[in-house]
Structure 1
Amino acid sequence: MVTANARSLLLGRNKKRARQWSIGVGMLFVASLLYFAAVKAVDYPTIHLALWWEGYAVLLTVLVAVQAYSNGGLVVSWLLTFAAVVGLVLNYGGIGLTGGGPGIVELIGLATVGGVIAAAIVGTLGFGIGTAVRRTAK
């Protein structure tokens, strides 16, 4: 049985807010997928200059920190980062292509692995920042 403290750490203090942020995960995935598809279709590098790698990581860290500040929930923090990175990688972001692109199965595998790694690093970092700020603000 999961204790109340463990549940609060993993899912957040408020169930309603956790559900709202979970909906945000889906919206972030769609937005990431569409944004990077548009950048790829237009092939206009200045569109995504601020939101490529460094900027995107900082933006995700801030978003996760806001989520952690508002409700906590380590799993939600991980899911936010995972969704955003999967949307990026599915548009071949971060994949160095020297020949033909990977097949759909390989692309999904790369997106999953990249999303898990980013969630572990950026999601945990943002969660730690947001939780620390919330605790020191009290």
Structure 2
Amino acid sequence: MVPVDTRTLLLGEDRKRTRRWSIGAGILFLASISYFAVVRTVGFPQIHLLLWWQGYAVLLTIFVAVQAYSNGGIGVSWLLVFAAVAGVILNYGGIGLSGAKPGLLWLVRYAVVGSAVAAAIVGTLGFTIGTAVRRIAG
């Protein structure tokens, strides 16, 4: 078994790729917050059904697996999912459907906790898939 240092495990093998993927997390946050704002405002039911929670989770898992395959870095995998889910939650995605919408402070709390939980689950799953495929492929 080859020992792996902590930095490589968290951030990946190549600093340039890590930087690109980190910038990608920011873009993913903006795309996520924008997409769900448009869907909520305008309403595109055909697209909305594909990219709501289940489809979104599958797409994020695939996206993170591609990142893990290309560079590794579980921290980057978590960051990608955290950013994407934070964008959804900050647009009240799934929040306030059956009651009053929470205030800004509660919304931010929900975003932090919900994004951290999603990052731990979906980010770890995507990372595991991507690194497994990379090791199998050789």
With the length of structure 1 as denominator, give the TM-score of the two structures: 0.94
Once residues 27 and 97 of structure 1 are traced to their aligned partners in structure 2, the CA distance between those partners, rounded to angstroms, is 27
Which deviates further from its counterpart, 44-53 or 75-84? 44-53
Q: Match of 1:67, as an amino acid?
A: Q
Code of the residue aligned with 1:45 in structure 2: it is: P
Q: Are 1:46 and 2:43 counterparts?
A: no
Q: CA deviation at 1:52?
A: 0.8
Q: Is the 8 A contact 2:22 2:76 kept in 1?
A: yes
- Corresponding position of 2:23: 23
Specify every segment of 5 or more residues in structure 1 that has no aligned partner in the other structure, as ranges.
none
2:36 matched residue in structure 1: 36
Q: What code does the residue aligned with 2:73 have?
A: G
Whether 2:58 is the aligned partner of 1:58: answer yes
Deviates more, 1:68-77 or 1:98-107: 98-107
Hey, what's the Cα distance between the residues in 2 that align with 1:68 and 1:47? 27
For these two proteins, the number of residue pairs brought into alignment is: 136
Residue identity opposite 2:30 in structure 1? V
Other-structure match for 1:77: 77
C-alpha distance after superposition, 1:46-92 (max 9, x if no partner): 23111111100000000000000000010000000000000001111
Q: For residue 101 of structure 1, what is the amino acid of its counterpart?
A: K
Q: Name the amino acid aligned to 1:122.
A: V
Give the structure 2 partner of residue 127 of structure 1: 127
Q: CA deviation at 1:100?
A: 2.0
Match in the other structure for 1:112: 112
* SS in structure 2 at match of 1:13: coil
Overall identity of the aligned pairs, in %: 65
Q: Distance in 1 between matches of 2:99 and 2:62?
A: 35
Note the alpha carbon deviations across 1:3-46, whole angstroms, 9 max, x for none. Answer: 96211111000000000000000000000000000001013322
One-letter amino acid matched to 2:72: G
Change (3 A) 1:96 1:102: closer
Structure 2: unaligned runs, 5 residues or longer: none
Question: Alpha-carbon deviation of 1:94?
Answer: 1.8
